[in-house]
Structure 1
């Protein structure tokens, strides 16, 4: 939506209208359960071409069609249309499209001047802060507001700290960040290169930050797991579930008394050994 609204100079309303009609037809075909790649692939290519010629960035066509795909399974389906298309397109997207985009778009000379300029120019600093701070707060805040003001609920097995840690992962930007940078500063090669450096640096900071946060959350869950498995009184029930059982505390008292008695014996033995006079030479 941002690309469509802010990065479109001239509009061809006839082509844009044709793309809208194509999208409406795409939606109707999906709604009535029409199947067959020979229907959707040609239609998608026509929509893409019309969107491209309308002046709106052609990626909007793909985004719009993707949003229309049903991702819920109906009775008798093993996969929803969205899951099916994702399964088919993933090798092409992840194996060819994204690497080629990275190859042609990410070339940047990481010289000292370019990296130093990342934190001195407002454009590049905005990119870094947008990736590291903006995305994290946006995703975390959106999730919190959804859980606070709608019927959505946070999974009971998760904590908000987990959501924040995962949200920080979104700061690892690449393809879309580079695309927005190129569209925003088209014609200014030096600024585009600095924006690319800012994207890479911001992604690196986000990767380190998210790695640290997720590591802390893993440590926390490991501690919880160990606490849930601990059974010091050998009763067969983890100690954490016996805190309200008087018998548990009596058993633990007996265990500690036995350990205390053993340590007293060891202390007496050590004291006797230290007080024993040295034998004559």
Structure 2
């Protein structure tokens, strides 16, 4: 069986680093703070919120949740967001998406303060990710992928890396982060010809396509490193990834599980980003 890339070990390592940073900030009289903005009560939002609150508490980062009614108008939502932008006690802002259809994300993304935008909603942070500017904030999930690769000392220099998925949530930003580390990146999507053949040529395969257990052993080269970003519920009601773990585990050299893989690192990255934002704001 392949080596298991445990996200929990990576998360604990980031937590230790973050706790030390919080202690140093508090010695300077600064209390890092995250503001979560949630519209309505989407179950997936609530689940992530619980995990985020637990992780922030474990890192001694103050967290507040601004819960807004599902029917809030776009103008009222923007007014609430602008108040948070101006609140000097808040260093990081996390807006749960997708927002209700009557609120235009293409308008809102230009309103959120980029220096507080810890999950890459603002076009300014998106541009920084594309340019390789480390002063910005990449989305937390792609950043979690990079944290795992770094923790396990996986050499990206020149590595043939294939990314399945081209979304702005995972595929595109993780590709830019990999390029920054000198990986050779191929981005695949639903229109890619001979998808399994392209994937099976990869030294490192990163999967974020949103289809439960779609990637089987035919997509994996012998000894490849496989990182599964997907979170789905299978026919038995259990969490599973986009990779068929049981089918791939004996062929891959290293592989992340679901749960316990990339997802378990994401809230730790969020905490790390809050600290980074805090430091940038206080100089």
TM-score range, shorter chain: under 0.3
- Which structure: larger Rg? 1
Given the two structures, how large is their TM-score scaled by the length of structure 1?
Answer: 0.28
Given the two structures, how large is their TM-score scaled by the length of structure 2?
Answer: 0.28
More helix by share: 1
More strand by share: 2
The structure, 1 or 2, with the larger RCO (C-alpha pairs under 8 Å, 6+ apart) is: 2
